[in-house]
Amino acid sequence: MAVSRHRDQVRKGTNIPYVTHLLAVAALVGESGGGEEEVIAALLHDAVEDGGGSLLLEEIERQFGRTVAGIVEGCTEELQEIKSPWLERKKAFLMRLAGASLSVLRVTCADKLHNAHAVSRDLKVQGPAVFERFKGDRDGTLWYYRSLARFFGALVQDEPGLDPGFRTMIRELRETVAGLEG
């Protein structure tokens, strides 16, 4: 399902097949202690948001179960095809993370970590022009990643029983975001 939904997509500003992002996020989730349902959700985390909407979410639930569909829904900024303005959407998503399950948080952290790694890699090659591909431009994009890093950093403090692999992923996100700003 993930491959068929994203078959013709490439990563923003590149020729890299989008499916590589989904596979990388799934690997990060599995390597950080995520279970099978979280790995499946990681593969599907962008499908609903990228044009599948609520009908696709229902199909995911039929094929993979309520838990996977719930994780995918939790990772989805908006279900509607016409999206809210960028900043409004990002702020609302950050607010929703505060009440999200650990499964949603793990998949979201893996997604944001892989995205931040990609931006960091491209920044080294293309320089600051890399931020032109994002609606939030440089300042907005860095604000968003900084906000995510703070949120996940606070989670480490508030959740003493957090899986060590998840803690490591959060630390990597924070370090990568710090590198983007430097």
Active centre residues (catalytic):
49-50
Residues 6+ apart with CB under 8 A from 177: 116, 142, 145, 146, 148, 149
